[in-house]
Amino acid sequence: MPDIVLATLNAKFIHSAFGLRYLMANLGPLQSRAALAEFDIHQRPVDVAESLLAHGPKIIGLGIYIWNAAPSTELVALLKRIMPEVTVVLGGPEVSYETESQPLVQLADFVVTGEADLKFAEVCRRILEGQPPAEKIIPAPPPEFSQLALPYDLYTDADLEHRIIYVEASRGCPFECEFCLSSLDIPVRQAPLPDFLGALQRLLDRGARHFKFVDRTFNLNLAASRAVLEFLLARHRPGLFFHFEMVPDRLPASLREVIVRFPPGALQFEAGVQTFNEAVAQRIQRRQNYAKLAENFRFLRQETGVHIHSDLVFGLPGESLESMAAGFDRLVALRPHEIQVGILKRLRGAPIARHADEWQMAYSPNPPYEILQHRLVDFATMQKLKRFARYWDLVGNSGNFVEATPLIWGAGSPFAGFWRFSEWLFAQAGRTDSIALLRLMEWLFRFLTGELKLDPRLAAPALWHDYQRGGRSDKPGFLVAHLSEVAPLQATPRSRSLKRQARHQA
């Protein structure tokens, strides 16, 4: 029976708890006395408590994040009610700042703030020796990579088969964007390349296919990022997929010449734009060269097979509805495969809080702490923006409507066109979740042909082609009458694990 159980509630089963594996790898002599237990937020906290306590632990370490803060609070309350003698130690970004005001922190025994890779082991050792720390809140200084044992051998064969494998070549971020906690992670530290590449090789040898690099700025150190890309390119085989978060205006020739050699669909770049409003960007300390950003997007779309996932944030201080609309249209014109429309969140500890009074920024008190309104965008409009973002993810990002989506705006403004569709769809559905694909497709067909008066002979083939990209061959009943002379799409190979990206690539 382990003395220490490391646990967290992942957002989905497919995710793996990277932080827990770092803690486990760096427990030293205590590693043999510890176990890893992963759950997800869809499981009942009482069932999670039962599973954890069945191990008979003396210490339970919980990773707390914005997506699991609420169920974790319920879980810790249950643990302390059922077995108060078990020591609960919290860690993670959600409890690393503003700790005093959190009910979750009040329920727990100890909280390790910051990067707890090494500090957690020290805290556990003291607790097990009967000399627990005197203070409840225990800060952990950022460790150097040379001090850390890498965690990659802790991924199980089941993880490699069914989960996203998280890796990191660096930690920290040199930028100071105020909405992001990474702005506090200074300095940037690089993993020792020989050790890191050796760990990647072992994962590849064991059959790992889907890697997500969690580096906040993978292409900051050009020599290191090129070395990693060349390593992966030399070992590429069908079915491998690598995700990187890139600085969008930093893509020099030394990286381009490697990127162009990857086959289509092997790479995904997450390129965060966040805002095209230069005054807003300056206000929140975000630095980027928009001309270079646009040039890099054109290069990626025209000369590579990279899947581009780009981000905008709605609700930043000083950004009006008109400004957000102009930024959305500008990003659509750059043709990323996906545009993640995020709603501003006031993360605990993020410097964005300093603008609250001036811009009358009101946030939800509950996770994920999304903005409710500010001086330029009232609550009702912000709600419409949130519906816009959700419907855009279902339609524009999903890969289920690659041909049909541009029909929503035609030759006009993408934002204005999709805003109109979003309002119409909400009037029909009354909700933004649990909408079946065929039902959504039928509503889109009705909107295109009824509201926009588009010829069904144009709308129906686009929707049917999109339907086939998902691997289907039948004709939806509401389209049959308009498809008598339309040939089916030629079949294209699809990845079994990355359906969304595969539909975009097809």
Per residue in 298-350, pLDDT tens? Answer: 999 999 999 999 999 999 999 999 999 999 999 999 999 999 999 999 999 99
Q: What distance in Å separates the CA atoms of residue 281 and residue 289, rounded to the nearest whole number? A: 11
Q: What distance in Å separates the CA atoms of residue 267 and residue 261, rounded to the nearest whole number? A: 11
Structure tokens at 494: 């699809």
Surface-to-core class of residue 130, CB atoms within 10 Å of its CB (0-12 exposed, 13-18 middle, 19+ buried):
exposed
Residue 367's CB is within 10 A of a number of other CB atoms, namely: 19
Partners of 62 in the β-ladder = 7, 90
Q: What distance in Å separates the CA atoms of residue 260 and residue 266, rounded to the nearest whole number? A: 11
CA 457 to mean position of chain CA atoms: 38
Query: In the prediction, which pLDDT does 184 show?
Result: 73
Contact call for residues 127 and 58 (beta carbons, < 8 A)? yes
CA 398 to mean position of chain CA atoms: 15
Q: What distance in Å separates the CA atoms of residue 138 and residue 153, rounded to the nearest whole number? A: 28
Alpha helices in 273-320 (DSSP H): 278-283, 290-303
Coil/strand/helix, residue 17: coil
Query: In the prediction, which pLDDT does 495 show?
Result: 44
Structure tokens at 288: 């980027």
Query: In the prediction, which pLDDT does 176 show?
Result: 87
Query: In the prediction, which pLDDT does 181 show?
Result: 84
Coil/strand/helix, residue 417: helix
Q: Tokens 């191990």 map to which residue?
A: 55
For the 4-145 domain, the top CATH level (class) is: alpha beta
Number of Cα atoms under 13 Å in the Cβ half of residue 379: 4
**Average pLDDT of each block of 10 consecutive residues along the chain (506 residues)?**
97 96 98 98 98 98 97 98 98 95 96 97 98 97 93 97 96 89 78 97 97 94 96 96 95 97 96 96 95 97 97 97 98 97 95 96 96 98 98 96 97 98 98 95 98 96 92 90 80 52 66
Residue 283's CB is within 10 A of a number of other CB atoms, namely: 19
Q: Tokens 């097990």 map to which residue?
A: 128
* DSSP character string of 337-390: SEEEEEEPB--TT-GGGGGTTTTT-EE-SSTT-BEEEBTTB-HHHHHHHHHHHH
Structure tokens at 129: 């020796």
Residue 112's H or E segment, with its range, is strand 110-114
Q: What distance in Å separates the CA atoms of residue 443 and residue 437, rounded to the nearest whole number? A: 10
Residue 205 is which amino acid? D
Contact call for residues 405 and 391 (beta carbons, < 8 A)? no
Contact call for residues 121 and 28 (beta carbons, < 8 A)? yes
What is the phi/psi pair of residue 485, to 5°?
-110, 15
Domain boundaries, the chain: 4-145, 155-377, 400-506
Contact call for residues 463 and 475 (beta carbons, < 8 A)? no
Structure tokens at 367: 């996770």
Contact call for residues 404 and 466 (beta carbons, < 8 A)? yes
Query: In the prediction, which pLDDT does 12 show?
Result: 94
Superfamily of domain 155-377: tm_1862 like domain (3.80.30.20)
What is the phi/psi pair of residue 167, to 5°?
-140, 165
Question: Among candidates 306, 216, 278, which has minimal Cα distance to 298?
Answer: 306
Residue 271's H or E segment, with its range, is strand 267-274
Cα dist from 297 to 174, 250, 258, 261, 303, whole Å = 22, 11, 16, 17, 10
Query: In the prediction, which pLDDT does 80 show?
Result: 98
